[in-house]
Amino acid sequence: MKDKVFTKAAEKKFEFDEAVASVFDDMLSRSVPFYDEVRHLVISLILAEQKEGKKVLDLGSSTAKFLLELHAKMETKMHLKGIDNSPAMIERAGKKAEAFGAAIQLELADMLTYTYAEQDIIVANYTLQFIRPIQRIELVKKLYAGLNEGGMFLFSEKVVFDDKSLDKQIIDIYYAYKKAQGYSEYEIAQKREALENVLIPFTIKENIQMCRDAGFSQIDTLFQWANFVTFIAKK
């Protein structure tokens, strides 16, 4: 279904309700540059590490598009699980997993209070940016503690730049990208307003420092398009 959520005036702050869940896959593909390519990249890295019984946890798993693609491509029986705090997302994900006959565990849960233990790979695709900065930092510490030795944390985030002039230029370039995807200036403005104080991005340096402070010894960037970056942190 095509994303038309912001074709009318936003009456509330952005939230992952049924209206968003129903068009979420289209929203991601048209709003996040190279989203499909980044998803394939992360999946390829996981497949390179695949092993019988290995645990992969997707935070903010939404409609389970990522997990379903990983499930379809894996050659060994890994344990795939997604958690999300949106009932609408979990319901849609469950229906998709059932339709594809995919052995994916889905749980309605708050990632801030969730108990992380003995995970091998944790993924968060454009998820942390919706968590308040102080809570975000504490969450990454919990993720580090919940990973097995040698485990990986793969995450993608929208970022900001210290150079305010550059930041403004990049935002303009991004909005031009969204227009090219079929979004009107009105839709772009409405979504920007709805996301204000809901999506709070860090700089690249702040994301790396957050991981370093949590205990990760090796942190790298895997991909960047303007203000969208994918990171990998290893324990």
- pLDDT tens digits for range 49-69: 999 999 999 999 999 999 999
Range of lowest pLDDT (101-115, 160-174, 185-199, 219-233): 185-199
Radius of gyration of the chain (CA): 17
Query: What residues does 152 pair with on adjacent strands?
Result: 121, 234
pTM over 0.85: yes
Q: Which two tokens stand for residue 126?
A: 């454009």
Helices 35-48 and 65-73 cross at an angle (nearest 10°) of 40
6-35 pLDDT per residue, tens = 345 445 443 445 544 445 566 677 789 999
Confidence grade of residue 194 (pLDDT, cut at 50, 70, 90): low
pLDDT at 31: 82
Collapsing DSSP states into helix, strand and coil, what is residue 2?
Answer: coil
CATH 3.30.420.40 fits 18-234, yes or no: no
pLDDT band at 185 (very low <50, low <70, confident <90, very high): confident
